[in-house]
Structure 1
Amino acid sequence: MPVLHNRVSNEELKARMLAETEPRKTISFYKYFTIEDPNTTRDALYLAFSQLAVFGRVYLAPEGINAQISVPESNVEAFREQLYRFHPALDGLRLNIALDDDGRSFWVLRMKVRDRIVADGIDDPAFDPSNVGDYLKAEQVNQMLDDPDTVFIDMRNHYEYEVGHFEGALEIPADTFREQLPKAAEMMAPYKDKNIVMYCTGGIRCEKASAWMKYQGFTRVAHIEGGIIEYVRKAREQGLPVRFIGKNFVFDARMGERISPDVIAHCHQCGAPCDSHTNCKNEGCHLLFIQCPACAEKYDGCCSEQCQQEHQLPEAEQRQRRAGRENAARIFNKSRQRLKLTLNNPEDE
């Protein structure tokens, strides 16, 4: 029986990836479709992807697939063909190619079965996720941005919105996607007679969100086809103005793709203009926050003096302090004016 999961340490796998000489392409894709046996599908896909040296993160559920991966350039076409042949629902599926890519986004293949590919918290059996809003292409997006009868809402998390968003787009102030859905319907209630355009990174969240809004009685609902990634790619290809400002946060080692030169966020420690996310180097913290180069040097890559002091302790003492401590990924949520403890779970993308 072949090994269907990784057995090598992260450190060694990362070193192997960094030693590769062939460039890689970072690719994301998703598809809502019925998977009768996600576990069997997972094992078959794991073997197929491993044979093509695919790294990344893949989630499968009865409702479909969600993936962010990297593929050696010489295997991209073979990967595309293999994916399209794997299931009729995947034939011709759009693959979002990263916009700002060094090919070092992933160094291991992790493939998991979940209850859902997007944690939405919806338990209503009458809800039809396939009844989605209209798809908008890049030119239509720009036209809608100039339409006073249109409201753009960002269906991403605060730390994503903070570093980049569409001109005039509204943030839904909630901690998770499952909290955003009812909040979006509540916030948009006064605008039921307007066009509502929803967007996210690659399309997976706003597609389901558009179906939810229609289920809540909104009739003029649209979402950006392929999300920010596809919009920017098509706008650039077609010579259209790119109306997304700042950085597009991504859930891999890059933590962001530069879309425009505008820096609209600030260092969470000193307030200087900055839009570079990092994780606190203290192994007992790993807070996701924005840190400028000066503060990175001052605090040794840590989020606070306390974490800096702990990070400088002998490893044995650090491990002793971490023992029994909750070690969920922590995210600085400036919109709530506090440090928010939450699982940084890419299934929300």
Structure 2
Amino acid sequence: MARHRNLVKKEMLHNRYSRQDLLARLEPVKRRTLSFYRYLRIEEPRTLRDELYREWSAMGVLGRIYLAHEGINAQLAVPEEHLQSFSASLETRPGFGSMRFNPGVEDNGNSFIKLTIKVKQYIVNDGLGDFSIDEKVAAPHLKPLEFNKALEEPGTIVVDMRNHYESEVGRFENAICPDVPTFREELPLVAEMLKDKKDDKILIYCTGGIRCEKAGAYLRKHGYKNVYQLEGGVINYAHAVKKEQLPSKFKGKNFVFDERLGERITDDVLAKCHICGAASDRQLNCANEGCHVLMVQCDACGTRLSDCCSEECHRISLLPEEERRALRQADPTLKNKTWFSKKIRVRAPA
């Protein structure tokens, strides 16, 4: 009986539905997209995980949340009617008070279709292991206006701490954008690229700020004396541009890790279609579920290939479901393709 109760409990605290079922079950309520993070010591992340799942699922919260002993990293879609109670619930938890929320920029409320809360070893996959951040090594935060002024100072270096598929569609003017698919690869690469610039003023930025917390401390620990991070990342910057009427030095779209894939910051189109090379910043995953590679594809190629990344994937996508499943089972390389493993194949034409 005890074993049965444990199985039921586990089942209730995890998603049990397919994507199609989730879309069909999605309640038509107005939601607000929020993201937040905090580095703090969590003694029992698995216990907290179950508590948050019960609490937030009861509110109809959707999203992706990572918990670890080092803190929390959350992207959420919260029903507007529960925004106040959601915020109040965080305030009651030790260490979670006065949480800084980053609201979505282009927010239609359709950013997530399920609630996923995972316990990880680290909330950011940085490859640094147990890397602690304290006031002595943390890079100072610059507000958007301060960041703009710093960008205009002669000799200032600005570095994009995001992955190549993020900077491809949007970035700050004159930013160094390392051509890497993961954050853990970027940290040592940036340190090597700037090894002769340890006395220069270095500005770093990312989507919402969490990666820059680690990157800033990492660079300062390695002797870079004048490293500053953009407070709240590109998301907060975009809000400040509108609210404070600042000139936007970030151009294009800000990539986000949810159903939307991007939020437009300016009308500039920086990327090219991976198929034909036409100007486009329309990012999507290949419609062939055995591929699902992330790509930039113009509307014309999307129409011609039915949102697939190649003629071959288009051909496969038109097969009956039974044949597509048989293909994936016969060839394991067609299963669970990551954005990174196939990204080289669909890069924009030179």
With normalisation by structure 2, the TM-score equals 0.91
Aligned partner of 1:51: which letter?
A
Q: Deviations over 1:93-123 (max 9, x none)?
A: 1010000011111111011100000011113
Question: CA separation in 2, counterparts of 1:104 and 1:14?
Answer: 10
**Mapped contact 2:159–2:176 kept (Cα < 8 A):** yes
Question: CA separation in 1, counterparts of 2:230 and 2:221?
Answer: 18
Q: Deviations over 1:8-60 (max 9, x none)?
A: 3321221222x51x311011111111111110011111111112110010100
Aligned partner of 1:6: which letter?
N
Given candidates 14, 31, 37, the residue that maps to 1:24 is 31
Q: Which runs of 5+ in 2 are unaligned?
A: none
CA RMSD for the aligned pairs?
1.7
Question: CA separation in 2, counterparts of 1:107 and 1:180?
Answer: 30
Aligned partner of 2:338: which letter?
R
Match of 2:217 in 1: 211
* Percent of pairs with identical residues: 46
Aligned: 1:184 with 2:193: no
Aligned partner of 2:18: which letter?
S
Aligned: 1:172 with 2:178: yes
Aligned CA distance change for structure 1 residues 186 and 156 (closer, same or farther; 3 Å): same
Match of 1:56 in 2: 63
Question: CA separation in 2, counterparts of 1:215 and 1:114?
Answer: 25
Match of 2:132 in 1: 128
Q: Between the two structures, name the one with larger relative contact order (CA 8 Å, sep ≥ 6).
A: 1
Q: Deviations over 1:271-330 (max 9, x none)?
A: 111001111111110011011111011111111011111111111111000015143343
Aligned partner of 1:270: which letter?
C
Aligned to 2:196, the other structure's residue is in SS state: helix
Q: Deviations over 1:129-164 (max 9, x none)?
A: 233101010110110111122111001010100000
Match of 1:13 in 2: 22
Aligned to 2:33, the other structure's residue is in SS state: strand
**Mapped contact 1:288–1:329 kept (Cα < 8 A):** no
With normalisation by structure 1, the TM-score equals 0.92
Given candidates 312, 315, 328, the residue that maps to 1:306 is 312
**Mapped contact 1:159–1:332 kept (Cα < 8 A):** no
- Once the 2 structures are TM-superposed, how far is the Cα of residue 333 of structure 1 from its aligned partner? 8.7
**Mapped contact 2:274–2:346 kept (Cα < 8 A):** no
**Mapped contact 1:332–1:339 kept (Cα < 8 A):** no
Alignment of 1:74-153 (within 5 A): 74-87=81-94, 89-123=95-129, 127-130=131-134, 131-153=137-159
Match of 1:66 in 2: 73
Given candidates 294, 310, 318, the residue that maps to 1:288 is 294
Q: What is the number of residues matched between the two proteins? A: 334
**Mapped contact 2:64–2:116 kept (Cα < 8 A):** yes
Aligned to 2:118, the other structure's residue is in SS state: strand
Alignment of 1:211-230 (within 5 A): 211-230=217-236
Match of 2:41 in 1: 34
Question: CA separation in 1, counterparts of 2:273 and 2:345?
Answer: 15
Match of 1:328 in 2: 336
Given candidates 198, 201, 204, the residue that maps to 1:195 is 201
**Mapped contact 1:153–1:197 kept (Cα < 8 A):** yes
Q: Which runs of 5+ in 1 are unaligned?
A: 341-349
**Mapped contact 2:34–2:78 kept (Cα < 8 A):** yes
Aligned to 2:259, the other structure's residue is in SS state: coil
- Once the 2 structures are TM-superposed, how far is the Cα of residue 175 of structure 1 from its aligned partner? 2.5
Aligned CA distance change for structure 1 residues 338 and 281 (closer, same or farther; 3 Å): closer
Alignment of 1:255-266 (within 5 A): 255-266=261-272
**Mapped contact 1:159–1:333 kept (Cα < 8 A):** no
Aligned to 1:210, the other structure's residue is in SS state: helix
Aligned CA distance change for structure 1 residues 31 and 253 (closer, same or farther; 3 Å): same
Aligned to 1:317, the other structure's residue is in SS state: helix
- The range that moved more, 259-268 or 316-325, is 316-325
Aligned partner of 1:226: which letter?
G
Question: CA separation in 1, counterparts of 2:105 and 2:69?
Answer: 30
Aligned: 1:277 with 2:283: yes
Given candidates 218, 241, 244, the residue that maps to 2:247 is 241
